[in-house]
Structure 1
Amino acid sequence: MALGATVYKAQLSISDLDRGWYGQPVLTLARHPSETEERLMLRLLAWCMRAGEHLEFGRGLSSEGEPALWETDDTGAVIEWVELGAPDVRTVRKAAGKSEHVLVVAYDEARTRPWWESVKGELSRIDKLSVVFIPDDEAQALAAMCSRNMKLAVTIQDGIFWVSSDTENVQVNPESLKRETQRWT
């Protein structure tokens, strides 16, 4: 018998001072049996990075060819494609061909550094791509905040994220490995 996904609820209060986006979304996240709490919390952080009315989670690790998150417009066109981890160049190119913007949220320093050194030349040619790295200690601190029912306040200013629960506060400083030139200039 296959194990089912574990459902997590996140009540967020987001103040994104960089983009002027404020909201109190309630999100439901399904954690695949092979997904760690660290990756789940990084998906949640990625949602906060690109928060918007039409941003939604993909079907997860069991669905190949689908992003961790994506945003579509009213016509069904993909505006934002978000990948987690260290995707191969083919996956990133496919994402760039299907969307207006692509974000890769890399984590796990032991895997990310060699991956980035091997792909940065090819990925640097994709203008609509941004790549950020979340340091291991910050990802682990986020994972420690994980619970089945979360109430989190997220403040974003100058690219720094402050995530707070009733008992903990975590500061996340994503390291920009590649910045999309068209969007942020």
Structure 2
Amino acid sequence: MAIKATIHKAQVQIADMDRNVYGEHSLTIARQPSETDERMMIRILAFALNVPADDLNGRLELTKGLADADEPELWQRDLTGEIKHWIDLGQPDDRRLLKAHGRSELVSVYGFAYSTAIWWANIESKLTRLNRLAVWQIPSEQSQALAKFAQRSMQLQVTVQDGGIYVSTAADSLEINPIALRRPGE
């Protein structure tokens, strides 16, 4: 018998001053048995950093993630079902990114392992023509600290200002400084 996903709930208050996006979101996360607290929390962080100000071009949604290899971790689809933004985590291979780029208006990757810079150096030359690709590295010590915030029921505040990200709970806070390995249009 297969082990089922564990359900986590997160109330996420977002104040993104860099993009003028503010709001509160209730997330239900189906955490797969093979998913770590760190990966789950990076999914929540990616949601907070990419949620649109309104739903006019579709909502940003958590997908089945690891349970479905054909879907990203998050995506924003418009009302016709077209993918506006494809968001992956970790170190996807170049074929997956090429496929995602062909299906979406924007592709973002959030790496969070020590080896992210090495992974990117190995595949960057294969992806030079992908002008709608963003690749971010979350320093692993910061992503591991973020993993300590994981609970079955969470209340998180995410503040973004001048490129810095501040995540806090009632008991603790953390500053995250993502590193842009590639921005769209580069």
Q: Secondary structure at the match of 1:65?
A: coil
Match of 2:102 in 1: 97
Find the residue that maps to 1:145 and give its secondary structure.
coil
Question: Per-residue CA shift, 1:81-134, capped at 9, x if unaligned?
Answer: 000011111100111100100000011113x12211111112232100000001
Please give the residue correspondences for 1:14-29 in structure 2 after superposition, counting only pairs within 5 Å. Answer: 14-29=14-29
Match status 1:9 vs 2:9:
yes
State the 4+ residue runs in structure 1 displaced beyond 3 angstroms: none
Equivalent position amino acid for 1:168 in 2 = D
CA RMSD in angstroms, aligned pairs only: 1.1
**Secondary structure of 1:24's aligned partner:** strand
2-side partners of 1:181 and 1:113: how far apart?
Answer: 20
Q: TM-score, normalised by structure 1?
A: 0.95
> Aligned partners of 1:152 and 1:138: how far apart in 2?
16
- Between the aligned partners of 1:84 and 1:154, the Cα distance in structure 2 is 19
Structure 1, unmatched stretches of 5+, are none
Structure 1 residue 86 corresponds to structure 2 residue 106: no
1:179 corresponding residue in structure 2: 183
In percent, how many aligned pairs have the same letter? Answer: 43
Q: Is the 8 A contact 1:107 1:136 kept in 2?
A: yes
Partner of 2:37: 37
Gaps of at least 5 residues in structure 2 are none
CA distance in 1, matches of 2:69, 2:33: 16
TM-score by length of structure 2 reads 0.94
Structure 2 counterpart of 1:159, from 138, 163, 177: 163
